[in-house]
Chain A
Amino acid sequence: MKLSKLIENFPVKVATQHEIIPDYDITGGISSDLLSYVMANAKEGNIWITIQTHPNIVAVASLTNLAAIIIVGGAQPDQDTLSRASQEDIPILTTDLPAYEFILRMAAFGKDNA
């Protein structure tokens, strides 16, 4: 699935600033709030579902070439996080949905659009 399709079909807001939102191919996803775990286990092109908002998430996403960071549960990223992510052209999406709910919807959407 393309990132643009996710943005179109899910209750997410793009919190970062981009000239054009990069329309990466999403290769899969990872859900964890431990950054060391994500560094070790994320695959290129994954979306990362987390409640962490610290600027270090941008470095981890950049290191592992993630397609986007999805901050769930209504958590709001720090300004520093957003400006670094905008600089690195890594989209950060926010949603009020909790992680479990978001992933369930992704699964349902995937089935209907297979």
Chain B
Amino acid sequence: MTPQNIVRMAKLNHNELIAVTDHNSGENVSAVMGAGAEHGVAVLPGMEVQSREDIHLLCYFDRIDDLLSWQEIVYGKLPPIENKEELFGPQLLFDSRDRELGKNNRLLLNGIDLSLEEIIEEVNFRKGICVPAHIDRRAYSVLEHLGFIPSGLPIAAVEGSRAVDVHGMQRKYPYLTAYPFIVSSDAHNLEEMVFNRTYFYLMEPTLDEICLALRGKEGRKVVIV
């Protein structure tokens, strides 16, 4: 998955808006945003961060600078372990024309030393939003690791994995109906980008508009198919 490949695949899929959420890092986001600008695909800067409780939390920002400021915190809270390429593969960095700029040598797959609540506070402080990831899955999900979503948690939505039965989840855990639901492709390769179930009705592809849509305000809405 390179910036040009991601954006061109998004074009083929008629995606007008995509988000890039690498694990504990945002270093490739500006490259994908650059490729997106070239091809007319809006790219939302984001990250999938892993909390102290080993919960995956999606963070989305409007501005790349806010993401990079958040990334500084994340890097400071990651255990200082180097990537072992033979085990985990290379963590490559690209520019918007798919030229390899180098590698990230820090092992990105660990949890950071911040709790779920501390992460949300830091992200919200940077005008970002948080969405607990793939809550229907056994691994790295808030429901599995913490048993339930702590009440009053300031999250913008919850995310299901691509095969989630949204109504089934809401029947099983009725309190989930209090949160907007999104379903993402969680694509780890180009082919998986076709799993595309969430439609946002927006005036423009910005985080403010997405927040309106999640709350169903001012004619904006989210539809899951």
Contact = CB atoms under 8 A, between A and B. Distances in A.
Nearest to A39: B147
A38 B52 CA distance: 18
Nearest to A63: B147
B144 A78 contact: no
Contacts of B145: 33-36, 52
Contacts of A54: 52-53, 115-116, 146, 150
Contacts of B147: 35-36, 38-39, 56, 59-60
Which residue among B54, B144, B145, B150 has the maximum number of chain A CB atoms within 10 Å of its CB? B145
A29 interface: no
B212 interface: no
A17 B146 CA distance: 24
Interface in B63-95: none
A98 interface: no
A73 interface: no
A36 B143 contact: yes
For chain B, the bracket of interface size reads: 10 to 19
Interface residues of A, number: 14
Contacts of B148: 56, 59
B150 A55 contact: yes
A52 B53 contact: yes
Interface string A25-47: 00000000111101100000000
Nearest to B146: A56
A36 B140 CA distance: 12
A82 to B, nearest CB: 14
Contacts of A60: 147
Interface in B87-138: 115-116
Contacts of A38: 147
Nearest to A37: B144
Contacts of A53: 52, 115
A38 B144 CA distance: 10
Interface of B: 52-54, 115-116, 143-148, 150
